[in-house]
Amino acid sequence: MSRVAKMPVAIPQGVDVSIKEDVISVKGTGGTLTMHANSLVKINNEGGKLSFAPSDESREANAMSGTMRQLVNNMVVGVTKGFEKKLNLVGVGYKAQAQGTKLNLTVGYSHPVNIEMPAGIKVETPAPTEILIKGADRQRVGQIAAEIRSVRPPEPYKGKGIRYSDETITIKETKKK
């Protein structure tokens, strides 16, 4: 059995987990998240803890039990604490401004870039060169952060562009005569 799947997922106070047929839904203060359960994994709710076990002895069932456990754990953490990604803008004149559900970027193009945030995702700009993306769904927060970064990825010679706060850019040496 997968080592990850052996650890049960603790359900904190104020979080409601319901398992119906092939749908798992987690409801908490941060919102409601749903996911389709895989038929290769058996899920048991015992005394405020969710346990995951493979339904048969196949390699795929073993792998999916650990995957399902981690996805459900991310759902529980998302509706209680939430997830966030931080992006930094590096470059002269590069700035970001959050206006409600829109993010306006000025990143060296001849026009400003406007990105509409989907429902459940909040964007903040604590400083003109910082973007903070928050939400309950870990996958969507990471996807939106990647889409914003793809507007102007960091270039390897000066390091200008939009980067994750914990990302390190290896700067290349310029051509020599």
- Give the strand pairing for 130-135 and 121-124: antiparallel
Distance separating alpha carbons of residues 130 and 117, to the nearest angstrom: 16
| Of 31, 8, 57, the residue nearest 140 (C-alpha) | 31
Q: Are 147 and 123 in contact (CB under 8 A)?
A: no
Please give the chain's pLDDT, 177 residues, in tens.
678 888 999 999 999 999 998 899 999 998 999 999 989 999 998 888 999 999 998 999 999 999 999 999 999 999 999 999 999 999 999 999 999 899 999 999 999 999 999 999 999 999 999 999 999 999 999 999 999 999 999 999 999 999 999 999 999 998 888
Residue 176 has a pLDDT of 86
CATH architecture of 83-164: Alpha-Beta Complex (3.90)
Q: Where are the domains of the chain?
A: 3-80, 83-164
Contacts of 45 (CB under 8 A, 6+ apart): 11, 17, 19
Question: How deeply is 172 buried, as exposed, middle or buried, from its count of CB atoms within 10 A (0-12, 13-18, 19+)?
Answer: exposed
Residue 143 has a pLDDT of 96
- In CATH, 3-80 is 3.30.450.40: no
Residue 75 has a pLDDT of 95
Distance separating alpha carbons of residues 89 and 75, to the nearest angstrom: 30
131 membership: H or E segment, kind and range: strand 130-135
> What phi-psi label fits residue 68: left (phi over 0), alpha (psi between -120 and 50 degrees) or beta?
alpha
Residue 5 has a pLDDT of 85
Residue 97 has a pLDDT of 96
Please give the backbone phi and psi of residue 96, each rounded to the nearest 5 degrees, phi first: -130, 150
